[in-house]
Amino acid sequence: MLETITGFLADWYLVTKALHIVSVISWMAGIFYLPRLFVYHTEQVMRGSPTDAMFQTMERRLLRGIMNPAMIATWVFGLALVFTPGVVDWSSAWSWVKAGCVLAMTWFHHWLGLRRKDFIAGTNTRTGRTYRLMNEVPTVLMVLIVFAVITRF
């Protein structure tokens, strides 16, 4: 049974890798854009206004319609790659760096989801500056992931 699964994963390696990359790109697009929406929502929108409702709709659709499915697909295809024989060498630092960064990116995704709930409840206390600074988190993680995977240090 295990040989059948690993054989399947090996046969479909390039397709899995391509789907993983597409998923990551989609997820990252949302992770970069949602904090920017929060900046504008915080600095330019009055609570309860039609613009507030519009921003909440945009944020909900981005998170639920793009980011959540993309994150799930990233994890599914990423784990498929992890279980593909010969792809990940857990004795190398790069794989642990990538794994740690992916966990941090997932935490950041959920942090954004919690901030969206703050806007819904009208309890957002964070400033546009906070969201601008937090928008740097995925950039740093992305750079670390790309260098870890490409250089395999």
Q: What is the dihedral of CA 113, 119, 121, 126, to 10 degrees?
A: 90
Domain around 43: 2-151
Dump pLDDT digits (tens) for 16-64.
999 999 999 999 999 999 999 999 999 998 998 999 999 999 999 999 9
Q: Which two tokens stand for residue 127?
A: 């400033």
The predicted pLDDT at position 4 comes to 84
CA distance 48 to 102: 36
Closest CA to 100 of 148, 65, 58, 67: 148
Q: Provide the token pair at 87.
A: 């792809």
The predicted-structure confidence for 111-152, as pLDDT tens digits, reads as follows 999 999 999 999 999 999 999 999 999 999 999 999 999 999
- pLDDT interval class at 100 (50, 70, 90): very high
- Give residue 10's pLDDT band: very low, low, confident or very high (50, 70, 90): confident
Nearest to 63 by CA among 92, 40, 38, 85: 38
Three-state DSSP state, 125: coil
Q: Given this model, what pLDDT does residue 1 score?
A: 73
SS3 content of the chain, % helix, strand, coil (to 5): 85, 0, 15
- pLDDT for 2 equals 72
Tokens of 94: 């790069």
55 SS3 class: helix
Number of domains the chain is built from:
1
